């Protein structure tokens, strides 16, 4: 059961799975909250250097962090595809994806075709374009900010070459 690094990859493979087994495939979204992880020694040392609280016995605790895992699962073949994130910025886009998969489940045509078929319903058109642009633009920036020096540099170069 693979975890995909990119939500687009997850969506693509989920669509394929749903195409193959529309009857049994389910999509689950799991939002779970965990207490903040314990700080490592290095981090503690750094914190101590920055500011030494002489009286504060109770160190300021990090707030708990939420995580989101989306999973496409087909019980007949036992395939499960997963994607994991903890970024709030991605929630909207992921729900858009769930919506797209929902359309497939309902045996409806994809959003663009439906808009034409139903006489150009404005809402679907807007939603579709939003999803399209949102799915591509913010990701390189986000990964660039997240990744280390080497990864970030590589991403940046690529972007420059494209534009």
Is 137 a binding residue for another protein by CB under 8 A? The answer is no
- Binding to another protein by CB under 8 A, coded x per residue (else -) over 24-43, reads xxxxxxxxxxxx--------
Whether the CB-CB separation of 124 and 114 falls below 8 Å is answered with yes
Q: Which is nearer to another protein, 54 or 160 (CB)?
A: 160
Is 99 a binding residue for another protein by CB under 8 A? The answer is yes
Is 122 a binding residue for another protein by CB under 8 A? The answer is no
Q: Using CB atoms within 10 Å of the CB of residue 61, give its burial: 0 to 12 exposed, 13 to 18 middle, 19+ buried.
A: exposed
Query: Least distance in Å: CB of 126 to another protein?
Result: 10
Beta-sheet pairing, 79-85 with 65-74: antiparallel
Selected from 11, 79, 81, 101, the binder of another protein by CB under 8 A is: 101
* Residue length of the chain: 163
Only one residue has tokens 């900010």, namely: 145
- Binding to another protein by CB under 8 A, coded x per residue (else -) over 76-95, reads ---------xxxxx-xx--x
- How open is the CA angle 98-103-101, to the nearest 5 degrees? 35
Identify any residues that bridge with 80 across adjacent strands, giving them in sequence order: 73
Residues engaged in binding another protein (CB under 8 A): 19-35, 63-68, 85-89, 91-92, 95-96, 98-99, 101-103, 105-108, 111, 121, 123-124, 127, 141, 144-145, 152, 156
């Amino acid at each position: 059961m693979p975890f995909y690094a990119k939500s687009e990859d997850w969506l693509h493979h989920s669509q394929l799975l749903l195409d193959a087994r529309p009857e049994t495939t389910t999509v689950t979204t799991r939002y779970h909250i965990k207490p903040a992880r314990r700080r490592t020694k290095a981090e503690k040392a750094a914190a101590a250097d920055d500011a030494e609280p002489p009286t504060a016995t109770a160190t300021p605790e990090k707030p708990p962090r939420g995580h989101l895992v989306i999973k496409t699962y087909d019980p007949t073949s036992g395939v499960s595809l997963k994607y994991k994130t903890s970024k709030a910025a991605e929630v909207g886009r992921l729900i858009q994806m769930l919506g797209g998969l929902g359309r497939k489940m309902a045996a409806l045509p994809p959003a663009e075709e439906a808009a034409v078929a139903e006489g150009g319903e404005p809402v679907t058109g807007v939603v579709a374009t939003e999803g399209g642009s949102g799915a591509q633009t913010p990701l390189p920036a986000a990964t660039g900010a997240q990744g280390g020096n080497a990864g970030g540099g590589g991403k940046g170069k690529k972007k420059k070459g494209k534009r």
